[in-house]
Structure 1
Amino acid sequence: MNRFDYVRADTVADAIKALGGDPNARFIAGGTNLVDLMKYNVEKPGRLVDITRLPLKSIEEHAGGLRIGALVSNADLAYDERIQARYPLLASAILAGASAQLRNAASTGGNLNQRTRCYYFYDEGTPCNKREPGSGCPAIGGVNRIHAILGASESCIATNPSDMCVALAALEATVQVSGPEGDRAIAFADYHRLPGDDPSKDNTIKPGEIVVSVDLPPTDYGQHHTYLKLRDRLSYAFALVSVAAALELDGQTVKTARLALGGVAHKPWRNLEAEALLQGKSATRESFKAAADLVLREAKPQSENGFKIELARRAIVRGLEQAAAGTPQSQSDKRIQ
């Protein structure tokens, strides 16, 4: 681990000033991802700006929904009574991720900005376009069982590791950020990037900006939802494929649908065409299979992860069936229902 300066900020303005637009400076809150990256010499910040004292730890009513401060811990968010009652999809996704100890430390803003768990990204001894653009992507043609089947490029096939972000994508959250140029709102669909020819950039945050909150809009998806996560082991593992599904039903007819996938792309993956396809259709397995086929129409497997396509297809159908039946996947008994 390299030597670095340490600064503690008391206000958002102080934090932005302390970062100073320095590309080698980093904000730190829970540190559940950043500290690991520093230990592996993937991240080598010259300055850490501690933001744990900023007044961003509350969950407040906002525009008919809720505003979540960037420093609200994952545990506090998942167990908040308002979240569990009005946004149970989000609570379920958070509880599907990490361990209780990590959820106690990890922050909302940090979860948004966590980096991929690609083996090659973490191994400083191998080339990686995310660490050093232009150096290559050894995952292509290498060990790529956990890698992307959607939205990948010739430069990178890494996946976004977050569970929380998959639910936020389905709920159409908005990210509020502040920086040297002022405040701005970013639609969640626009927050994370696909790799393109510069996979070193995970999101659309500008230099010097900080996440201050995540806004949840009013929702009608409290009853018919599920977060289904498929992984190699039931505890403390990242998703091979995950599905956040939410339906608004009129009897057995789908009025609106939300569907987001994790573990399959560089960002939480939504297909608006598939959601539109379900609108007005009966909530049947046939309809759900048609939506799954549309989502995976352009899936491209690598040498070791072709199984993900069929796994994702079945997960989408199962997730939509769980949502339609109002029987969401349990995150305490993780056996697939």
Structure 2
Amino acid sequence: MELWFTGTNAGMPIADRNVTSIVLRLAETRGEFWMFDCGEATQHRLLRTPLRITRLEKLFVTHLHGDHVFGIPGLLSSRSSLGATAPLQIYGPSGIRELIDSWMGITETHLGYPLSVCENTEGIVFEDGDYSVRCAKLDHRIECYGYRVEEKPRAGALLVDRLERAGIPPGPLYGQLKSGLDVELKDGRIIRSADVRGPAIPGRIVAVLGDTRPCAGAVRLSERADVLVHEATFGGNLADKAELYGHSTAEQAALTAREAGVSRLLLTHFSSRYGAEDIAELVQEARTLHPNTDAAVELTPYAIARARNES
């Protein structure tokens, strides 16, 4: 599992930073990836990564400001032109369905795959056997959401030495025990799966927040996340401007991360006024409150390690 940032700038693109879009690449065995927001030119930036648009499975939209959605029509059209047939699901605030229907209708864009659009209510918006996704409202100038992705726990490793002591040779029985099934041996003994497996391996937690002032929803979504992606539009000297426009400073992002017990904080959505040296200063501001903080760098993969208490 890893994160890619195809845009980290706020408001509009600049020469070396595009507007907001974040990709969560799922486990290699699954193959698909999910996207959070889709600013203008996102599909262009994806061409510079190993990610293929046809493998996009879900798009989670935080809010309907242009720097977060203007890339959607082109992305949907190109996904179809490239031959994708697998369904695509879009989740977002009220109005997202009307916006997409208008784009598709006025431009007479026809897709070669099923598209479903779900307008959020707070709580779980998606769940399957591997992941769940929960959303909650944030505090921005318009309706805005953050998302919490939780990977389901995995079964613990087989305790092979214990199986060998019980006289169970490698073979099909190992697979059954690994999958959680109890087995009966020829001599009548019952081997319980729970007795020959190590502790369950906790899943990873990733929180991706939209634009927001500090708020309770941001803390709830971020609680004990392995990675929190949080906007840092301004430095601390512009806290009044951040409050006025519904944004956070780097220090405020770090406070949320610290309160929520986050392992790693990745800052994004930087004002166009900031160059590379300025962003380094924002990171230092945040690190005074949450040491494990970095500024997201576009087109760089960020691996998400397994949970801290995994043996």
TM-score range, shorter-chain basis? under 0.3
User: TM-score, structure 2 length as denominator?
Assistant: 0.23
